[in-house]
């Protein structure tokens, strides 16, 4: 899984850099009518494996800082953008929901179902910034805001 994650980021990084550096002639002039600027955030498909992995990293950060008895898990990724800056910076708007897994069990989130009991159900809207440096096999979540 980690190898596929790093490989996906490497491919994405190369494709994105290739797209940003393509020019209409040898003088490095952007193509006419180009709306993409180097270093600008670019919208991403919310089903992209890299986006999904980044969202999971944001959820791990939230769970580690929360005092809740139960673990939360991403239920929906509403918007995703990526920016190439010394790696990849994902900016994600994610809905997370409380699961039936208790924190003390250290369960894998893949095996955690969402709460069915009405009194225990909870949904939060989160904004995560996830910085990934694939060539260093490093990821950081400097921003995790949920309400």
Q: Is residue 75 part of a domain?
A: yes
pLDDT of residue 36: 59
**How confident is the model over 90-116, as pLDDT tens digits?**
999 999 999 999 999 877 899 999 999
Closest CA to 98 of 84, 79, 113: 113
Number of domains in the chain: 1
Radius of gyration of the chain (CA): 18
**How confident is the model over 38-69, as pLDDT tens digits?**
689 999 999 999 999 999 999 999 999 999 99
Question: 45: which residues sit within 8 A by CB, 6+ positions away?
Answer: 51, 80
Do you know the residue count of the chain? 147
pTM, two decimal places: 0.75
Q: Is residue 50 part of a domain?
A: yes
Closest CA to 60 of 74, 47, 49: 74
Q: Is residue 74 part of a domain?
A: yes
pLDDT of residue 130: 98
Tell me the residue range of the domain where 58 lies.
Answer: 2-24+38-146
Q: Is residue 33 part of a domain?
A: no
Q: What is the CATH number of the domain that holds 107?
A: 3.10.450.10
pLDDT of residue 27: 37
Q: How confident is the model at residue 24 (pLDDT cuts 50, 70, 90)?
A: very low
């Amino acid at each position: 899984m980690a190898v596929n994650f790093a490989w996906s980021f490497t491919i994405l990084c190369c494709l994105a850099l290739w797209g940003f550096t393509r020019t209409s002639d040898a003088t490095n002039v952007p193509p006419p009518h180009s709306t993409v600027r180097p270093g600008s955030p670019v919208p991403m498909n919310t089903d992209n494996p890299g986006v999904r992995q980044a969202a999971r990293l944001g959820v791990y950060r939230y769970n580690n800082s929360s005092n809740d008895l139960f673990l939360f898990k991403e239920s929906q990724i509403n918007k995703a953008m990526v920016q190439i800056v010394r790696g990849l910076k994902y900016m994600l708007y994610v809905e997370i929901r409380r699961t039936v897994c208790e924190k003390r069990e250290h369960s894998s989130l893949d095996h955690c179902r969402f709460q069915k009991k009405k009194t225990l159900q909870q949904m939060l809207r989160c904004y995560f910034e996830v910085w990934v440096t694939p060539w260093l096999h490093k990821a950081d979540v400097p921003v995790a805001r949920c309400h």
